[in-house]
Chain A
């Protein structure tokens, strides 16, 4: 079978391969685009409460066996000392050179028993080491809906209930006050007579719960929550609004997995097939470098510098220790200037050349958006996720900028659209690049997100 390495060799440069890939942006299947309308659905997560359905767009990897903790710990930049059954943590593996491969959530359900949930690159990396590293572990992958023949035959449902009224809805549906649980700790609940595993979470910048259980019980649990939520203004969030919530809460969903280069990563590329996510993924946007490494992100870029634990042995440790001494880029929110955004979208009504269409509310058109951010004629960094927030009444992006440009209030310019009329990706109509001025702003952008992550984590310690 052809491997990712073969595909890269045939393509010449991985950048060309990925920037012209026929893959569109990540899809959010299984839910309608809108339950009501995406404006009200966005506003509900800041003003009342929402039910997110995360049952379909992420992959789940179950890892268990005597060496499970050892395997995962050797791949994670963060410590496993504070991992114990009933807790969850962000799992961020890096390449040997210290660049991010992925970013998923890890649940520790019992000693040496884990489930990891998110985009597939981090999970593939675990599978590779489990298969080749001589670990005594058993793995089971439950792929995301878009990557399977039976899209809706998932093992688990996964909901989040979020927003200022989330706890009131929980109290109503539970018939009692929800138990006090620390951020990223798990508790067992009963909803509609069903056992539910509940993670104290807060994806949209407000305290809430992530609820997990057997897929077949999902409808009963969801219906009970929807009924309980009626009086508290709960809205179901559809596929269009869902992915835009991170613009307000500041998480980067889409680091390019740092696997396309480096001799030490070659065995992994030979293990990954030509059909893998990594071989099929797409990069979109104005940031065009011939060097694939320029697309890699460090843990500092993602806002995870403070996570790195040098006390334990893990892949990338030496490289990160060296990097630690240097300067780092910073994650910021860019608030795009109204006049320039209007020039871009207004060009759709004019005779001349048109800008790349700016979709509402998510303007992401590839698996890995990478737009160039410039200041004073120099490259200041890259911008990733982009879209509109009806709460903030702005187009926002999550960007990673050189420290000298990362101060809130700094003026920078985002280059919107691709060079020379656009790459060959099917999501790209012929267009003209346009510049959009932007104000560097805190991440997370939403006031509520910054203030109410009371239990710590990167959101609270983020640049303000």
Chain B
């Protein structure tokens, strides 16, 4: 089998294929699991400062040439009316029916040269259109690092770090050796680190102002050492792979919608282009939400909280479909705060005979590329749970999901934890029972700090 379309034809139902994928957990590769311990690493992003190492888990998709802006305008639902060099924006391309394919950050590096950084699905979609859409551009993909390096050398184009947390700016100015101008959110500039000029993006992933910085991969250890040394007096901690992904449970971004590519005649060409080894053909869906219709796993940009981004001032794939959706009520993104007694019930089952409940790994509790658990309220399905973990800061299991419009903040919903019939055949799934976990519907982002200190963007416009 050469491509996704052939894989799907052989598999029958894509839901069954993806829910039984042998691929294993979604790995955050290369970075050590813990630098100190994941509890203190989580605490540091709320209390002091952290260094995130994002050099390995994302794909970089470069696009260069006269039609670069035209290509992204064609794929992006956001307005590109004002997107000069040294700006970045969130890019969440949709399929023709208005469902999300992926989500990441697009950097305008220089005139007619941009890079998309994120999970594979959006990057592949960009590459496909660049190659087949008659655009005058060249592309280059820098794939994420392998999950198990087996001692082989890793060579990425860039290192990519973030300095975040309430003391981040102090660390940044110390390492720079002088004041660093406060940029607007998602504006790019440069600073000095260890005698080198590095590029910066004003960011704030963990709920406080910070910077993303990047440069040639070979410089990474030198840059890291300088930041760690400067951060010492400000309590900066390096964050390992175990804590890293859980920061989003507090800051409210859903990293893993299922790419909406498995159905539709218009998407067939793309499925024939996607290799059989692609994320889309090998990825996994985990959790209690079971539908025979793969389209029930698709999400809209409105559901992901990107409604305010959508601008109908240009033509783009999915525009008409989104225009039809626009006026209607939408599911919306929320945080779910899990009931402590119910979580302890799951842990208790590990100390008793008989099938336990599905193990809740800490701090990151997802066991697949894409998480889909059923949420119910008064016996009715009211939404999906899509990313789960534990927050040492909030002392709670927190997850991100989407709920029906009539579900209110403060409502207690039930999250069905675990898979039906003892579990699917995924290797990360041990035989287990399902359990309903009560959860309080809460704002996304959950962390108070994140909601009040993001000056722009979807976080500050989130439902509260």
Contacts and interface: CB of A to CB of B under 8 A. Distances in A.
Given A35-B427, A40-B430, 7 more contacts: A32-B148, A37-B429, A342-B348, A357-B39, A388-B350, A393-B356, A429-B37
Nearest to B359: A39
A350 B395 contact: yes
Enumerate the 4 nearest inter-chain pairs by beta-carbon distance, A residue then B residue, closest first.
Answer: A152-B151, A426-B36, A36-B427, A349-B340
Interface residues of A, number: 37
Which of A32, A35, A350, A351 is the most central at the interface, judged by chain B CB atoms within 10 Å of its CB?
Answer: A32
Interface in B249-290: none
B390 interface: yes
Contact of B344 (A34, A342, A365, A395): A342
Contact of B352 (A35, A338, A427): A338
Interface of A: 24, 30-37, 39-40, 43, 151-153, 338, 341-342, 345-346, 348-351, 354, 357, 360, 365, 388, 390, 393-395, 426-429
Interface residues of B, number: 38
B395 A346 contact: no
A152 B36 CA distance: 24
B407 interface: no
Nearest to B430: A39
A37 B352 contact: no
Contact of B35 (A346, A349, A393, A426): A426
Interface in B120-152: 147-148, 150-151
Interface of B: 24-25, 27, 33-37, 39-40, 43, 147-148, 150-151, 340, 343-344, 347-348, 350-353, 356, 359, 361-362, 367, 390, 392, 395-397, 427-430
B344 A338 contact: no
Which of B25, B39, B348, B350 is the most central at the interface, judged by chain A CB atoms within 10 Å of its CB?
Answer: B350
A152 B154 CA distance: 14
Contacts of B362: 348, 360
Contacts of B37: 357, 365, 426-429
A390 B431 CA distance: 12
Nearest to B353: A393
A36 B37 CA distance: 24
Given A37-B427, A357-B37, A350 B340 contact: yes
B359 A152 contact: no
A393 B351 contact: yes
Nearest to B428: A37
Contacts of B347: 342, 345-346
A36 B359 contact: no
A426 B239 CA distance: 13
Contacts of A34: 24-25, 428
A37 B430 CA distance: 7
30 contacts: A31-B148, A34-B25, A34-B428, A35-B427, A36-B427, A37-B367, A37-B428, A40-B430, A43-B430, A152-B151, A338-B351, A342-B347, A342-B351, A345-B347, A346-B340, A346-B347, A348-B362, A348-B392, A349-B395, A349-B396, A350-B395, A390-B350, A390-B430, A393-B350, A393-B353, A394-B351, A426-B36, A427-B36, A428-B37, A429-B37
A39 B348 CA distance: 15
Contacts of B392: 348, 429
A151 B151 contact: yes
A388 B344 CA distance: 16
Contacts of B429: 37
Nearest to B37: A427
A428 B33 CA distance: 15
A346 B350 CA distance: 13
A20 to B, nearest CB: 14
B427 to A, nearest CB: 4
A293 B361 CA distance: 38
Nearest to A22: B36
Contacts of B427: 35-37, 40
Contacts of B36: 426-427
B347 to A, nearest CB: 6
Given A33-B33, A342-B348, A427-B36, A349 B151 contact: no
Contacts of B359: 37, 39, 360
Contacts of A350: 340, 395
A381 to B, nearest CB: 24
A31 B356 CA distance: 27
Nearest to B36: A426
Contacts of A33: 33
A204 B347 CA distance: 25
A360 to B, nearest CB: 8
A34 B148 CA distance: 11
